[in-house]
Chains A and B, each alone.
Chain A
Amino acid sequence: MGAATETFYEVIRRQGITRRSFIKFCSLTATSLGLGSMGASQIAQALESKPRVPVIWMHGLECTCCSESFIRSAHPLVKDVVLSMISLDYDDTLMAAAGHQAEAILEETRKKHKGQYVLAVEGNPPLNEDGMFCIDGGRPFVEKLKEMAEDAMAVVAWGSCASWGCVQAAKPNPTQATPIDKVIRNKPVIKVPGCPPIAEVMTGVITYIITFGKLPELDRQGRPKMFYSQRIHDKCYRRPHFDAGQFVEQWDDDAARKGFCLYKMGCKGPTTYNACSTVRWNGGVSFPIQSGHGCIGCSEDGFWDKGSFYERLTTIQQFGIEANADKIGATVAGAVGVAIAAHAAVTTVRNLSRRKEVPDSNGGDKSNGKSA
């Protein structure tokens, strides 16, 4: 309970962060905002005196699954995040205020907490129709997003919508839904992809910043390495069945009841970077493969346009090659992968960025006429 009155600075000092690291964090933040050394001391002063970091959580085109996932967090409980760790001053889904009273919070935050608040974005801005496919307070969402990003200390892209575009950006992307890092160009965006991301990954990213007084280490695509540097397949508990060549051949067959590998049912675990097979979902209860359905690859860029969710991966050939550079030790496993992919491949290597026909489909071309 005491945590509620500790300042951000006190909290991170208690976690063993040195004053020097803290000042460095403030300087880096000020630099990324173009605020200079004066800005750094202002930020430091604010964080030393302010109990909780203000968070502005905005919604663009989305389905609110990220917010729903966030409130599922088991550790920490979201109640404790909101009461004791951050100051969730704006979140359309949970906030008491509406209309003018809600809008006023955005203005006040920009003025009073310049460079000191975290902007968390769920969903993305559509650019067609002058941005008016997503209207917020009578104005295009994209404009409000840019304004709030301008003075933010850090920007977090929740989920695949904000990170990559997700479902509304799937072909033909009629609204021109656009990932936020394409419109927020002047500062790093922490991408936390997934449709939605795992609850404890979301609260993990937020508490990392508060606990260690710095932004998490990101990979080249902007994702926190701690959660997104391994494939589902790398740590899948059904992996031994893949290596042994034991596969589910059709739904609810004997192999499905025995929990064999779902690769032949279209599982995208081998090409999907996420923490599902380790952190798991809903307090560790399960994850898609454990409950019998293949991974649909929902944390990957453009996963909606990589063919049917039930189509077998054929790019798994790359698997053996990548294995050397990555985590997979056993060459045997790689060899099995190659053999299976060769067996499975109906066609040769496919361009995964394009939509394809199902191999068994008896029809000619009648997709959208653009792809395939």
Chain B
Amino acid sequence: MTNVTTPNGFKLDNAGRRVVVDPVTRIEGHLRVEVNVDSNNVIRNAVSTGTMWRGIEVILKGRDPRDAWAFTQRICGVCTGTHALTSVRAVENALGIAIPENANTIRNIMQLALYVHDHLVHFYHLHALDWVDVVSALKADPKATSALAQSISPWPMSSPGYFKDLQLRLQKFVESGQLGPFKNGYWGHPAYKLPPEANLMAVAHYLEALDFQKEIVKIHAVYGGKNPHPNWLVGGVPCAINVDGAGAVGAVNMERLNLVSSIIDQSIAFIEQVYIPDLIAIAGFYKDWLYGGGLASKSVMSYGDIPEYANDYSDKSLQLPRGVILNGNLNEVLPVDLHAPDQIQEYVTHSWYKYPDEKRGLHPYDGITEPNFALGPNAKGTRTNIEAVDEAAKYSFLKAPRWKGNAVEVGPLARYIIGYAQGKPEFKEPTEKLLKALDVPVTALFSTLGRTAARGLECQWAVHKLRAAQDKLVATIKAGDSSTANVDKWQPSSWASQAKGAGFTEAPRGALAHWIKIKDGRIDNYQCVVPTTWNGSPRDPQGNIGAFEAALLDTPMADPNQPLEILRTLHSFDPCLACSTHVMSEDGQEMTRVTVR
């Protein structure tokens, strides 16, 4: 290849200088990205490589399906809980288990609390340093910073003294010469556009958000016992409710409900008075930087989530939108079916796995994957010291999932585009309000910035849904229903000898589904197709590129040795590589166990 156009409409040219970013940091897991830049330092080819594999699905084979949530939850500790929820839904789907209303509500509370936490931490701790120059904050005038903060939000921590103290602490930190996590950052890079005062305000909120995020997950501790990795249950939720009488202190009681309620109030204040005003303020300085759209303006997908009614996974019940948009046709939202063999398929032509026929894709129910790590003939370096991968051959531990053969983007922006296309007011109205506040056209959504903005809007949506879900739980208890688990099919002896099912959620990062086959009370086959596999996917046999690769194209770099623009766009997807690099081996061969002594 030097100059080709992919079937999904992207021009690739790998003639120019190759730039490698490995490791990509401020993500979950291990990711490598290589790009080719032309003589003007504009990205003309992009190659995304997942560089880890853990084999969780091989490990699941033969185990008790009721345990699968705990294993799959350990796929990811950042979006903790969402895999577990997907897993219990898959098992319940396979075995025909209906859960009580309260269990559905508590699961929604868990999932929404994850959204609020995950989006907030992503914005401040994984993404902000792509837009915020920490060192520049030292030059800020604390009084002007205070005026700026007070002009955009009623948040009380905004006095000149507060910002002055913080600046002093930051100054001592920088003068110590030990910059810690800020060491070797891209400070002073021309792509940073914020004035010093906005930088100082953002650094203050980086630290405040670090303090505050730990409060949000106390909701998981109440209903799930701990966070990260709270506990779940096939058939319901493990926590019992008892607001009256003997033993109430050993269950979800009035004090626990009050604790959750108070955290929700604090979260609403933080999201609306800190996160959203910061997002708008920062975006205002970057609205000319509208690169990174990639697949967003073409093909996006969402499975939907947050069922209003227990056991009802129809479009009507799902509060997050569901469907597929292809080729930018916002007039038609196509239905998605996890069980249809011709819809979701995974390819491995460019993945470090083996299929009998690699031209074909396989539906997850029939998925096979055998690891097959090998570099292509045009790779540079050696097998254990890779300088450049060969994207014409296999080059990633991610498979290439496709919906009816199409590469799609998933995640908050996909959900907002679908909600917008469906004309749902709760997605359309805040989006239009934000576009108006920034004075940008609707097409500005199809960008790195659009992805980051959609995540913020969704965080605000989620924190209000969280309030509604908690209120619903209290109302249901008040109406006399305290049930949290259905144990009719708890014992494996009550199960059919063979069953299969699929479960789905919208993880914070996008569409997530698990497929399970159960045989004689044991897991016979387990497959996960996760958001970052969709977004970070390598090429398929037709040459379609995935969302990461597409989004990086045509972006100018100020200095290819300082990959700030690449990080900015990759981070806008909130990549999670431990999630995306999984595999099920049909044979599941036992490897020699290590005994180094």
Contacts and interface: CB of A to CB of B under 8 A. Distances in A.
B225 A286 contact: yes
B70 interface: yes
A288 B249 CA distance: 15
B596 interface: yes
Given A98-B23, A175-B53, A282-B227, A368 B590 contact: yes
A interface SS class: loop
B426 interface: no
B492 A362 contact: yes
| Residue of B32, B214, B482 most packed against chain A (CB within 10 A) | B214
A357 to B, nearest CB: 8
B62 A195 contact: no
Interface stretch (A32-40, A148-156, A290-298): A290-298
A310 B25 contact: no
A186 interface: no
A71 B522 contact: no
A5 B172 contact: yes
B184 A293 contact: no
Interface residues on chain B, size class? 35 or more
Nearest to A284: B221
A147 interface: no
Given A95-B25, A98-B26, A257-B242, A4 B66 contact: no
B497 A363 contact: yes
A131 B239 CA distance: 42
B249 A259 contact: yes
B430 interface: no
A87 to B, nearest CB: 4
Nearest to A298: B229
A174 interface: yes
A363 B492 CA distance: 9
B168 A52 contact: no
Interface stretch (B230-238, B273-281, B341-349, B404-412): B230-238
A310 B66 CA distance: 8
A95 B32 contact: no
A199 B28 CA distance: 19
A358 B26 contact: no
Interface string B13-30: 000000011111111111
Contact of B493 (A88, A361, A368): A361
Contact of B181 (A82, A104, A134, A135): A82
A59 to B, nearest CB: 7
A256 B208 CA distance: 38
Contacts of B591: 128, 172-176
A227 to B, nearest CB: 15
A259 B397 CA distance: 45
A88 B383 CA distance: 31
Contacts of A19: none
Interface in B82-137: 121, 125-126, 129, 134
A167 B240 contact: no
A68 to B, nearest CB: 5
13 contacts: A64-B77, A65-B228, A83-B180, A93-B28, A95-B26, A96-B183, A96-B185, A139-B384, A195-B74, A281-B225, A292-B231, A304-B71, A358-B521
Interface of B: 20-30, 32, 51-56, 58-59, 61-64, 66-67, 70-71, 74-78, 80, 121, 125-126, 129, 134, 165, 168-169, 172-173, 176, 178-186, 207, 210-211, 213-214, 217-218, 220-231, 233, 235-242, 246-247, 249-251, 259, 371, 373, 381, 383-387, 397, 482-485, 487, 490-493, 497, 519-522, 524, 561-563, 567, 578, 585, 588-594, 596
